[in-house]
Amino acid sequence: MPNIKSAIKRVKTTEARNAQNTAAKSSMRTAVKKVEAAITVNDAATAKESFVSAASKLDKAASKGLIHKNAAARKKSRLAKKANAL
C-alpha cells in the first residue's frame, strides 16, 4: 500500500474503474452469448431482439476503450450474419 496521498487515491480509482470495466465487459460477453444461444436453437425472433442489445453493448465497450472498435465491428458483423441466416 502506498504512503503518498496521490498514490493512495490512484489505487482507489484504479480499483473502482477496474470493477466498472470488468462488469461492462462481462455484460457484453453475456449479451453476445445470448445471441449465439438463440442462433443455435434456431429462434430467429429472440436472436434478433438480443442482437440489438448485444450490438449496443459492443458499441459502448468500444467507445469506452474496453475492446478495439474494429473488434466490436467484426463481432457485430459476424453475429448479424448468423442472425440473418436464420
Please name the residue that has the C-alpha cell 504512503. 3
**Residues 41/46/51/53 CA torsion (nearest 10 deg):** -130
CA distance linking residue 64 with residue 75, whole number of Å: 16
What is the CATH topology of the domain spanning 5-85?
A: Methane Monooxygenase Hydroxylase; Chain G, domain 1 (1.20.58)
What type of residue is 70? N
- SS3 state of residue 34: helix
Max Cα–Cα distance, the chain, nearest Å: 59
pTM over 0.85: yes
pLDDT tens for 48-75 read 999 999 999 999 999 999 999 999 999 9
pLDDT tens for 2-58 read 999 999 999 999 999 999 999 999 999 999 999 999 999 999 999 999 999 999 999
